[in-house]
Amino acid sequence: MKNLLFILLLVATACFVGCKKDKSCAMEGNWDAKSITVDGVETVGAGINSATIEFEACENNVGDFNIDFLYIDGTSEKLTGEYEVKEGDELRLTYNDGSFEDWDFVVKNNDLTLTGNINGTSMIMKFEKD
């Protein structure tokens, strides 16, 4: 009887682990910025006209990303690199120049929120799936 219970527990655990949705895959796709606050100050509509982020297909919690900023003055900036979903709800963005940022993230339905303290600056970025 103990062996049967042990086997059932192993099967249930394997199914739970094997069926768990990959969190990084929930981020795949294109996201449009709804809000970007820097130290509590909203920048969308003030300094930033628009921002989009694309998380490309993931494999083993790793994939490529592209971020496009269009500023009010008409200039633009493109940031690219690799993302990795770490333990819990932590996201690491490693840019092509080797620098990186760690963010906390939440994906809920079509909303993505990134929260971080980047170089001493509090940032909250909210996106909606395109």
Q: How far is CA 101 from CA 9, 44, 65, 118, in A?
A: 39, 21, 13, 7
For residue 43, give both structure tokens. Answer: 């920048």
pLDDT at 94: 98
Please tell me the predicted confidence (pLDDT) of residue 42: 96
User: Which of 7-11, 21-25, 118-122 is predicted with the least confidence, judged by mean pLDDT?
Assistant: 7-11
Q: What mean pLDDT is predicted for residues 79-90? A: 92
Q: What is the CATH number of domain 27-129?
A: 2.40.128.120
Query: Where in the chain are the domains?
Result: 27-129
12 pLDDT above the threshold of 50: no
Measured CA to CA, the distance from residue 27 to residue 39 in angstroms comes to 25
Q: Per-residue pLDDT tens for 18-61?
A: 344 455 578 899 999 999 999 999 999 999 999 999 999 999 99
Please, which pLDDT band fits residue 7 given cuts at 50, 70 and 90? very low
How much is the mean pLDDT over the chain?
85
pLDDT at 113: 97
Mean pLDDT of the 64-89 span: 95
Whole-number Å distance between alpha carbons of 82 and 1: 49
User: How far from 92 is each of 8, 70, 101, 118, CA to CA, in Å?
Assistant: 37, 23, 6, 12
Higher pLDDT, 46 or 87: 46
Lowest mean pLDDT among 18-32, 44-58, 75-89, 93-107: 18-32
Spatial contact of 23 and 61, defined as CB atoms under 8 Å apart:
yes
